[in-house]
């Protein structure tokens, strides 16, 4: 139960051994020791470097966008961006905006579970909903099942909707209070014509059985159920249209721990039996570790690290991921916990820091991090990260 | 939202009382560990035999627990039976058939005057032959007497009730339908549609009611519209200008409901907009709507009575409660001498308005558990 929100704000020395020694000094006083810096960022040189970087990024983006779709991937997200306008001029021109999701790319293959972790407010939920087109995206592409659904109108989306579903965080507000369980579950079946009309009830009862709901719940109302049972109803509703992809938006965080395990196991069983693909959003690392095949770590709207679960847990590349994982409590009291403590609060996404978004809190931030946003690159096979520290050996060689 | 949650908590509490009968059974069930372990290892398995109530039934129960709302319901229902079924049984007099049995009225007067020291007393008896039985007292023939023109007041009360209730029910239903559609569209779609509809509402709410009704009354006069049809024309006007209240209510509710997660779920399910509005949003606005409807029924009856009293609406010889009270404007003595001519109609209006308001209040309390005293 490592809640990221609980990361203590405390000053402590960095514990990881992957980071070169010299960077520690910068952490203490990056300005006071300019001779330690590898690159200077001043005046023209700085502008040129940033421009160069921006150009390279733009080129990379264009190249990525024009690439053919990955035929095997169920969901491919390319440079997804979602910004909410904060202020508008009279003519409707956006003056300032909150960038909730910025430049997120990943691929998800059928049958896999991708766990998305990150602090509260880092854009996990927004990303999930933007992928489902519950929010219109403000840039990038979402390719679902070989089709670019980015520009689909709501009419075209209706067909796609039954293939991608969502389970919400709060089982109390996500069920309509005035319909019975049977009504809630049979309405989508009826609307999408999943089975012929006379078989709807049998289908729904079968589905309820699969989700651990008894048949006499059919006539009951949501208010008669506890949180865990309601979440089962939500799961049954999401699965009633036989989706391929299910976005689980923190499905267990509103439940108590014993029920969490039941729901997680139910989700796992259903995945096995129905061949589902999950995009599992959570801030609970132990849950994500248990259910996921791949993990994406988000910070302030960007994906900072992405890879197979084992790769990420055995070799976390990004300092944020390391800080996050160090917060997982170890049940063995003899093991000394080496925690990476992050200073300060998460910056506001309405006014994100320049350069690397994590540099304000990064224990190993360099001067370059303050000015240039790091590139999201593949460092090992299938293991992506965005951090200047990983490029540092190259910078030193120059 | 908060309302819903509150409703839930109260309903659960209520359930505990309701199931008292089967409680022992429930306890027994709990002692048997996991009767059906394959189906569910979940918390607190609900007993199959416990009949839990739907939200609607719970509201009905709460409604009938309040004395005032029962009184209101009785008032309203008895008025209905009186007006709509009464004339079927009490057929002695018709709405516009006066009691034309001639009436001879005798008036005596006496004058005294003095002339040249002599006192003269002049006694005078006037015999007045009337062509109808006016201002008859209560009798077996006329249960509540007759009015100036010899119409049976009891009969006219029933016919007046018919028109008052019909007109106000029609008006309220049309107002509600218009309000739901316009408010639903405004609240659901938002943006410029919302702006447009709300500005139309603002304009309509600015218009003064009675002066415009007076003008329409004049127009109807010149068009020669008959006494029983006029009220419908006036109510059409009232309807067209009264829906903004309901529309605002519906819009406000939908704005808050739209952000609920179950609406996001409906969106994720790919339901069409009409389905979302009318199957998911409007049923959740129904409680407030029903309250609004029952309260505005009362005000519509008052409106109808006012119009008829002002001689704009239903006109003699047709009966309406307002028209019947209008008799006091013809003769100043009526208000003191002939209470029966106008009193019953006024009492009927009071009963109707009170009844609808009691029912409305009772419904509001039943639907909103926060209001419990």
Q: What is the pLDDT of residue B270?
A: 84
> What distance in Å separates the CA atoms of residue A146 and residue A159, rounded to the nearest whole number?
14
What would the pLDDT profile of A75-86 be if each residue is shown by its tens digit? 998 888 888 888
Q: Does B275 touch chain A (CB under 8 A)?
A: yes
In chain A, what percentage of residues exceed pLDDT 70? 87
Q: Which residues in chain B touch residue A259, judged by CB atoms under 8 angstroms apart?
A: 42-43
* Every domain of chain A and the residues it spans: 4-65+77-87+94-163+241-397
The domain made up of A4-65+77-87+94-163+241-397 has a fold known as Rossmann fold (3.40.50)
Q: Does B278 touch chain A (CB under 8 A)?
A: no
How far is A305 from chain B, CA to nearest CA, in Å? Answer: 28
Q: Does residue A264 carry a pLDDT above 60?
A: yes
Here the ipTM equals: 0.75
* A170–B264 C-beta distance less than 8 A: no
* A178–B284 C-beta distance less than 8 A: yes
Q: Token match 């999950």: residue?
A: A278
> Pick the residue with more confidence: A398 or A252?
A252
Nearest CA in chain A to B267: A134
Q: Does residue A13 carry a pLDDT above 70?
A: no
Q: Does A63 touch chain B (CB under 8 A)?
A: no
* A191–B262 C-beta distance less than 8 A: no
Backbone dihedral region of A380: left (phi > 0), alpha (psi from -120 to 50 degrees) or beta? beta
Strands A302-308 and A383-386: antiparallel
Binding-face residues of A in 74-133 toward B, CB within 8 A = 129, 132
Minimal Cβ distance to B43: which of A166, A221, A226: A226
- Residue ranges, chain B, pLDDT below 50: 1-43, 371-373
* A161–B43 C-beta distance less than 8 A: no
Q: Does residue A94 carry a pLDDT above 50?
A: yes
How far is A312 from chain B, CA to nearest CA, in Å? Answer: 32
Q: Does B283 touch chain A (CB under 8 A)?
A: yes
The 3 state secondary structure assigned to chain B is: CHHHHHHHHHHHHHHHHHHHHHHHHHHHHHHCCCCCCCCCCCCCCCCCCCCCCCHHHHHHHHHHHCHHHHHHHHHHHHHHHHHHHHHHHCCCCCCCCCCCCCEEEEEEEEEEEEECCEEEEEEEEEEEEECCCCCCCCCCCCCCCECCCCCEHHHHHHHHHHHHHHHHHHHHHHHHHHHHHHHHHHHHHCHHHHHHHHHHHHHHHHCCHHHHHHHHHHHHHHHCCCCCCHHHHHHHHHHHHHHHHHHHHHHHHHHHHHCCHHHHHHHHCCCCHHHHHHHHHHHHHHHHHHHHHHHHHHHHHHHHHHHHHCCCCCCCCCCCHHHHHHHHHCCCCHHHHCHHHHHHHHHHHHHHHHHHHHHHHHHHHHHCHHHCC
> What distance in Å separates the CA atoms of residue A358 and residue A361, rounded to the nearest whole number?
6
How far is B235 from chain A, CA to nearest CA, in Å? Answer: 34
In chain B, what percentage of residues exceed pLDDT 90? 16
How far is A229 from chain B, CA to nearest CA, in Å? Answer: 7
Q: Kindly list the structural domains of chain B, giving each domain's residue range(s) and its CATH number in brackets, ordered by start.
A: 2-53 (no CATH), 74-87+141-371 (1.10.3720.10)
Q: What is the pLDDT of residue B78?
A: 93
> What distance in Å separates the CA atoms of residue B53 and residue B55, rounded to the nearest whole number?
6
Across residues A188-201, what is the average pLDDT? 88
Confidence of residue A277 (pLDDT cuts 50, 70, 90): very high
Q: What is the pLDDT of residue B261?
A: 84
Q: Does residue A218 carry a pLDDT above 80?
A: yes
Q: What is the pLDDT of residue B53?
A: 64
Q: What is the pLDDT of residue A396?
A: 53
Minimal Cβ distance to B261: which of A173, A188, A214: A173
Average pLDDT of chain A to the nearest whole number: 81
């Amino acid at each position: 139960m490592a809640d990221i929100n609980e990361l203590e704000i405390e000053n402590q020395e960095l514990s990881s051994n992957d980071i070169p020694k010299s960077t520690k000094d910068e952490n203490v006083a990056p300005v006071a020791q300019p001779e330690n810096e590898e690159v200077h960022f001043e005046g023209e040189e700085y502008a040129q470097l940033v421009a160069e970087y921006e150009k390279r990024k733009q080129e990379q983006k264009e190249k990525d966008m024009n690439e053919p779709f990955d035929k095997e991937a169920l969901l491919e997200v390319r440079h997804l961006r979602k910004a909410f306008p904060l202020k508008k001029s009279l003519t409707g021109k956006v003056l300032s905006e909150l960038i909730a999701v910025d430049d997120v790319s990943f691929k998800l293959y059928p049958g896999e579970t991708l766990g998305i972790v990150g602090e509260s407010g880092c854009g996990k939920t927004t990303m999930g909903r933007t992928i489902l087109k519950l929010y219109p995206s403000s840039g990038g592409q979402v390719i679902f099942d070989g089709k670019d659904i980015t520009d689909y109108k709501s009419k075209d989306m209706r067909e796609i909707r039954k293939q991608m579903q969502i389970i919400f965080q709060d089982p109390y507000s996500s069920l309509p209070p005035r319909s019975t369980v049977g009504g809630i579950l049979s309405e989508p079946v009826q609307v999408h014509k999943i089975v012929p009309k006379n078989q709807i009830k049998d289908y729904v009862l079968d589905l309820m059985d699969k989700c651990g709901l008894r048949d006499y719940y059919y006539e009951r109302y949501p208010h008669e159920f506890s949180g865990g049972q309601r979440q089962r109803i939500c799961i049954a509703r999401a699965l009633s249209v036989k989706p391929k992809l299910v976005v689980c938006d923190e499905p267990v965080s509103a439940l108590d721990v014993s029920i969490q395990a039941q729901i997680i196991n139910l989700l796992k069983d259903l995945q096995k039996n129905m061949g589902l693909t999950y995009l599992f959003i959570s801030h609970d690392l132990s849950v994500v570790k248990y259910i996921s095949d791949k993990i994406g770590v988000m910070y302030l709207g960007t994906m900072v690290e992405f890879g197979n679960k084992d790769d990420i847990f055995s070799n976390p590349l990004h300092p944020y991921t390391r800080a996050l994982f160090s917060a997982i409590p170890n049940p063995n009291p003899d093991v000394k916990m080496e925690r990476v403590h992050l200073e300060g609060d998460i910056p506001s996404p309405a006014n994100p820091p320049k350069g690397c978004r994590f540099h304000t809190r990064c224990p190993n931030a360099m001067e370059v991090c303050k000015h240039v946003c790091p590139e999201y690159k593949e460092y090992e096979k299938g293991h992506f990260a965005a951090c200047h520290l990983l490029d540092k050996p190259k910078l030193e060689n120059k | 939202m908060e309302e819903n949650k509150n409703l839930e908590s109260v309903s659960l509490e209520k359930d505990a009382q309701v199931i008292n009968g089967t409680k022992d059974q429930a306890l027994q069930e709990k002692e048997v560990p996991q009767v059906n372990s394959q189906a569910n290892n979940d918390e607190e398995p609900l007993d199959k035999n416990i009949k839990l109530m739907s939200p609607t039934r719970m509201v009905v129960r709460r409604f009938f627990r309040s004395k005032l709302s029962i009184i209101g319901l009785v008032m309203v229902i008895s008025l209905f039976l009186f007006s709509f079924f009464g004339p079927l049984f009490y057929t002695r007099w018709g709405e516009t058939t006066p009691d034309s049995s001639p009436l001879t009225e005798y008036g005596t007067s006496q004058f005294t005057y003095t002339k040249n020291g002599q006192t003269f007393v002049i006694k005078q008896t006037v015999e007045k032959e009337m062509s109808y039985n006016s201002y008859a007292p209560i009798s077996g023939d006329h249960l509540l007497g007759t009015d100036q023109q010899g119409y049976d007041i009891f009969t006219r009360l029933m016919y007046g009730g018919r028109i008052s209730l019909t007109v106000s029910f029609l008006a309220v239903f049309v107002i509600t339908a218009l309000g739901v559609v316009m408010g639903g569209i405004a609240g659901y779609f938002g943006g410029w549609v919302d702006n447009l509809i709300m500005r139309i509402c603002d304009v309509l709410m600015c218009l003064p009611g009675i002066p415009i009704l007076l003008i329409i009354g004049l127009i109807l006069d010149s068009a020669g519209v008959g006494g029983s049809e006029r009220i419908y024309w006036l109510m059409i006007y009232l309807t067209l200008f009264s829906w903004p209240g309901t529309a605002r209510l519906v819009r406000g509710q939908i704005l808050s409901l739209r952000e609920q997660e179950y609406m996001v779920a409906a969106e994720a399910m790919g339901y069409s907009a009409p389905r979302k509005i009318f199957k998911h949003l409007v049923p959740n606005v129904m409680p407030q709507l029903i309250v609004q409807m029952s309260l505005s029924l009362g005000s519509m009856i008052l409106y109808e009575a006012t119009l008829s009293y002002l001689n704009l609406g239903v006109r003699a010889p047709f009966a309406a409660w307002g028209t019947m009270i209008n008799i006091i404007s013809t003769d100043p003595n009526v208000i003191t001498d002939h209470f029966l001519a106008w009193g019953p109609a006024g009492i009927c209006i009071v009963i109707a308005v009170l009844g609808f308001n009691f029912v409305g209040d009772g419904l509001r309390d039943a639907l909103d558990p926060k209001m419990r005293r």
